[in-house]
Amino acid sequence: MSPVEYAKHGTVAVLTVNNPPVNAMSPGVPKGVVRGVERANGDAGVAAVVLIGAGRGFIAGADIRYFSRPWPEGEETFKDIIAAFEASPKPVVAAIHGHALGGGLETAMACHYRVIAPAARVGQPEVKLGFPPGAGGTQRLPRLAGVAAALDMIVSGAPVKAREAADLGIVDATIEGDLLEGAVAFAAARGAEAGPHRRVRDIEIALDDRGVFDAKRKEIARRSRGMRAPYACIECVEAAVDLDFDAGVERERAIFEDCVESGESKALRHVFFAERAARKIPGVGKEVEPRAIAKAGVLGAGTMGGGIAMNFANAGIPVTVVERNREAIDRGMATIERNYAATVAKGRMSREAMDARMALIAPSTDYGDLADADMIIEAVFEEMAVKKEVFAALDRVAKPDAILTSNTSYLDIDEIADTIPNRRGHVLGTHFFSPANVMRLLEVVRTRTVSDVDLVTTMEVGRGMRKLPIVAGVCHGFIGNRMLEGYFGEAALMVEEGATPARIDTVMVDYGMAMGPLAVADLAGLDVGWRKRKDAAGGRNPPAERGSHVSTRLCEMGRFGQKTGRGYYIYEEGSRRPTPDPEVDRLAAEAAADLGLEPRAFGDDEIVERCMYPLVNIGADILAEGHALRASDIDLVYINGYGYPAWRGGPMHWAGAVGLDKVHDAVRRYRDALGFGHWRPSPLLKRLAEEGGTFEDFDRENAG
Ligand code: 3H9
């Protein structure tokens, strides 16, 4: 059966694309559309054609899966659809509801007219997949919307709402009420008019200021570091201005094809499907429906607790925040208010929306006020004894079936759950990332005993907060923090071996990280690790071990990082910009002398390998142990919680692009040279390397 249905409504032929879930242009769809246009043109009783989508939207674009697999031989493509529309003497009208994205919008722009439902959105999101539009979008959109607006849409990938689409001239009419009925009436009227009907390709392109292209390049330089696609989009729109239409289309196509083959695009496509896969929990079917969370509670109004309370309010869920005393809760509420006010000041939220959110947050100093909460998240001090006390107190006041979660970043939540045996099925972890109201990542830590319903509910609450919830198992540091050990450890070791912090950080920023590891260490505070090392040494000055020499010395000097204005770098008063410090180089040289190391020069490759390969190696262990459901989840954790560049696809995907055999060889080499635990080759890494596989192969095997 064709995914495109043909029906006649009076003098109008209606082609309905019915390819669930999102009407992507899978094989069969272009053929159906082309045949439909031919049939309409062959029917003397038809005066016009309407193209509409069944279900949730118009057309979501090309079927993204086919960028990694061959398109069936002889099967029609976008090109055929566009040719059929442009050759049609009878006007073709696109009727858009839900979404017209990518090739969906390109298809609509190849029609003679476009009408839209008020709630629909249109856009060219291809750049987010690492390539520019490839079916004429960069040539037609500037002709309809003007060069500047088209450039904004194509380079950002952000869709615009129906109203803006109408204002920009992308659509010809907005249909209130029944879209099909309105579109048929619109098409019938156009069909009754004398042709020929205007084609978008024939519109004269107007550009007053050629400076828009360079201005755009400048504007995106920071956020597009290391990427090709945003610049490719600009090149394509430039071609629309510089070349005639057909030559522009040809140029766009060549750039598009080149980009589709790039590592950047493969990585971004991987991320697209990873985000969709992350919603699925093997063994937990669709029949497990989330519970309703009508009221929530948060324990602790510190940085994390306050941010989590804001997340509930942002999701429209009333939340009670409890602190030990009036002073602490007042301070917490003042911070929340300040955070919202800053968003209002930036114009990203209205004052009314802020007031509505503040009204959802109730301050309290009484645990009893949590008695009616369906879900309670504790964000108190990160210490097992304190957490256990808090859960015992919650046990006394919470509803019997309330979901109780801990916002711990390292602690064993199974152990916490065991302290309240009657509630074990309702206890799990929610590891938010700082600042909790901003960062998209949420590790949902699945205890041994949590029920599927509560797990699914917590994921759903996270999505309601506009987070990306990733299921993690209970292990020290879960997915993200556990993998970091080697990353920071190796950066610190390399400082002792003669690489300056600035050199290491520059290489890692060039690799694509938002910040280098030593600048991050300064931000997080060097004293955290120092105190841990001291505790392990029974409170005494920790013994100088490989990797902690410099950081221990810095802490002894009171240089804890950004908060003290000095750490691995110097920070001017009120500035977050790290300035290299020769004093640190001197400490590093001292450390090298103590350790009997000969300072040496480092190549970029070694710096990248030593920071990144431990992540991959530990990630493989986490995966093999089942503490991550899939390698692609690990990738998402790093992209959304640790400033890893999406265009590299995450550390596990990137390792596959490098070649797991190469990674495995290097891991063994570093194990032999350095010997640290994070270099013990993961058996899974070894197996995949020997099989010539990737972590994506592992995910596929496991998905069955
Ligand atoms: C393009 O068009 C290139 C052109 O320039 C021309 C080239 C010549 N293909 O997101 P959801 C799947 S490039 C294949 O959860 P929502 C998705 O994987 C394309 N599959 O729904 C998921 O599968 P599963 C440009 C697709 O309601 C299911 O559909 N277009 C595609 O939250 C549901 O998806 C885009 O980049 C696709 N194009 O959001 C638009 N789209 O259930 C990409 C979705 O097995 N799509 N799937 O996990 C979206 O942005 C959202 O899906 C949309 C709906 C907003 C449409």
Q: What DSSP string runs through 636-655?
A: HHHHHHS---GGGT-HHHHH
Instruction: Kindly give the number of the ligand 1 atom that is closest to the alpha carbon of 125.
Output: 36
Q: What is the pLDDT of residue 542?
A: 75
- How many helices (H) and strands (E) would you count in the chain? 29, 19
How far, in Å, is the centroid of ligand 1 from the Cα of 22?
A: 6
Dihedral of CA 313/318/320/326: which sign? positive
Alpha-carbon distances of 281 from 285, 454, 695, rounded to whole Å: 8, 13, 18
Instruction: Kindly give the number of the ligand 1 atom that is closest to the alpha carbon of 128.
Output: 36
Is 102 close to ligand 1, i.e. is its CB under 6 Å away? Answer: yes
How far, in Å, is the centroid of ligand 1 from the Cα of 27?
A: 15
Percent of the chain whose pLDDT exceeds 70:
100
Identity of the residue numbered 21: P
**Cβ–Cβ under 8 Å, residues 90 and 48:** yes
Q: Which of 76, 126, 460, 497 is catalytic?
A: 126
Q: What is the pLDDT of residue 547?
A: 86
How confident is the model over 33-74, as pLDDT tens digits? 999 999 999 999 999 999 999 999 999 999 999 999 999 999
> What are 145's two structure tokens?
């919307």
How far, in Å, is the centroid of ligand 1 from the Cα of 660?
A: 30
When the pLDDT of each residue in the chain is averaged and rounded to a whole number, the result is 96
Q: What is the pLDDT of residue 704?
A: 63
How far, in Å, is the centroid of ligand 1 from the Cα of 528?
A: 43
Is 69 close to ligand 1, i.e. is its CB under 6 Å away? Answer: no
DSSP state, residue 200: G
Does the pLDDT at position 529 exceed 90? no
3-state secondary structure 556-591: HCCCCEHHHCECCCECCCCCCCCECCHHHHHHHHHH
The more confidently predicted of residues 194 and 248 is 248
Residue nearest to atom 33 of ligand 1 (CA): 21
Is 459 close to ligand 1, i.e. is its CB under 6 Å away? Answer: no
Task: State which of 19, 64, 75, 126 you would mutate to test the pocket of ligand 1, scoring each by most atoms of that ligand within 8 A of its C-beta.
Answer: 64
Residues in CB range of 497: below 8 A, 6 or more apart: 592, 597, 599, 600, 602
Confidence bin at 677 (pLDDT 50/70/90): confident
Residue nearest to atom 49 of ligand 1 (CA): 60
Confidence bin at 407 (pLDDT 50/70/90): very high
Residue 106 known to be catalytic: yes
Listed residue (102, 104, 143, 159) closest to 240, CA to CA: 143
Does the pLDDT at position 532 exceed 70? yes
How far, in Å, is the centroid of ligand 1 from the Cα of 13?
A: 27
Q: What is the pLDDT of residue 40?
A: 98
Instruction: Kindly give the number of the ligand 1 atom that is closest to the alpha carbon of 77.
Output: 8
Does the pLDDT at position 98 exceed 90? yes
Q: Is 342 exposed, middle or buried (0-12, 13-18, 19+ CB in 10 A)?
A: exposed
Residue nearest to atom 32 of ligand 1 (CA): 276
Residue nearest to atom 16 of ligand 1 (CA): 22
The more confidently predicted of residues 398 and 703 is 398
**Cβ–Cβ under 8 Å, residues 617 and 678:** yes
For tokens 């410090």, name the residue: 581
How far, in Å, is the centroid of ligand 1 from the Cα of 459?
A: 21
**Cβ–Cβ under 8 Å, residues 614 and 486:** yes
Q: Half-sphere exposure of residue 544, counting CA atoms within 13 Å on the CB side?
A: 18
Q: Which stretches of 405-525 are DSSP H helices?
A: 413-418, 452-464, 480-497, 501-511, 517-524
Helix, strand, coil proportions of the chain in percent (round to 5)?
55, 10, 35
Mean pLDDT of 529-542: 83
How confident is the model over 10-41, as pLDDT tens digits? 999 999 999 999 999 999 999 999 999 999 99
Confidence bin at 426 (pLDDT 50/70/90): very high
3-state secondary structure 269-314: HHHHHHHHHCCCECCECCCCCCCCCCCEEEECCCHHHHHHHHHHHH
Mean pLDDT of 222-247: 97
How far, in Å, is the centroid of ligand 1 from the Cα of 696?
A: 20
Listed residue (387, 385, 399, 388) closest to 320, CA to CA: 399
Confidence bin at 531 (pLDDT 50/70/90): confident
Q: Which of 76, 106, 443, 606 is catalytic?
A: 106
Distance CA 533, CA 527 (A): 10
**Cβ–Cβ under 8 Å, residues 12 and 49:** yes
> What are 492's two structure tokens?
């610190």
Q: What is the pLDDT of residue 254?
A: 98
How confident is the model over 139-163, as pLDDT tens digits? 999 999 999 999 999 999 999 999 9
Residue nearest to atom 25 of ligand 1 (CA): 102
Is 30 close to ligand 1, i.e. is its CB under 6 Å away? Answer: no
Q: How much is the CA Rg of the chain, to the nearest whole Å?
A: 29
For tokens 């300056």, name the residue: 500
3-state secondary structure 219-275: HHCCCCCCCCHHHHHHHHHHHHHHCCHHHHHHHHHHHHHHHHCCHHHHHHHHHHHHH
Task: State which of 22, 76, 281 you would mutate to test the pocket of ligand 1, scoring each by most atoms of that ligand within 8 A of its C-beta.
Answer: 22
Residue 86 known to be catalytic: no
Is 99 close to ligand 1, i.e. is its CB under 6 Å away? Answer: yes
Instruction: Kindly give the number of the ligand 1 atom that is closest to the alpha carbon of 280.
Output: 48
Is 98 close to ligand 1, i.e. is its CB under 6 Å away? Answer: no
For tokens 């970043």, name the residue: 409
Strands 427-432 and 441-446: antiparallel
Residues in CB range of 152: below 8 A, 6 or more apart: none
How confident is the model over 283-298, as pLDDT tens digits? 999 999 999 999 999 9
Q: Reduced to 3 states, what is the DSSP secondary structure of residue 5?
A: strand
How confident is the model over 444-460, as pLDDT tens digits? 999 999 999 999 999 99
How confident is the model over 473-528, as pLDDT tens digits? 999 999 999 998 889 999 999 999 999 999 999 999 999 999 999 999 999 899 98
Residue nearest to atom 28 of ligand 1 (CA): 21
Is 24 close to ligand 1, i.e. is its CB under 6 Å away? Answer: yes
Say what angle helices 695-703 and 263-277 make with each other, to 10 degrees.
Answer: 30
For tokens 């009508």, name the residue: 294
Mean pLDDT of 388-417: 95
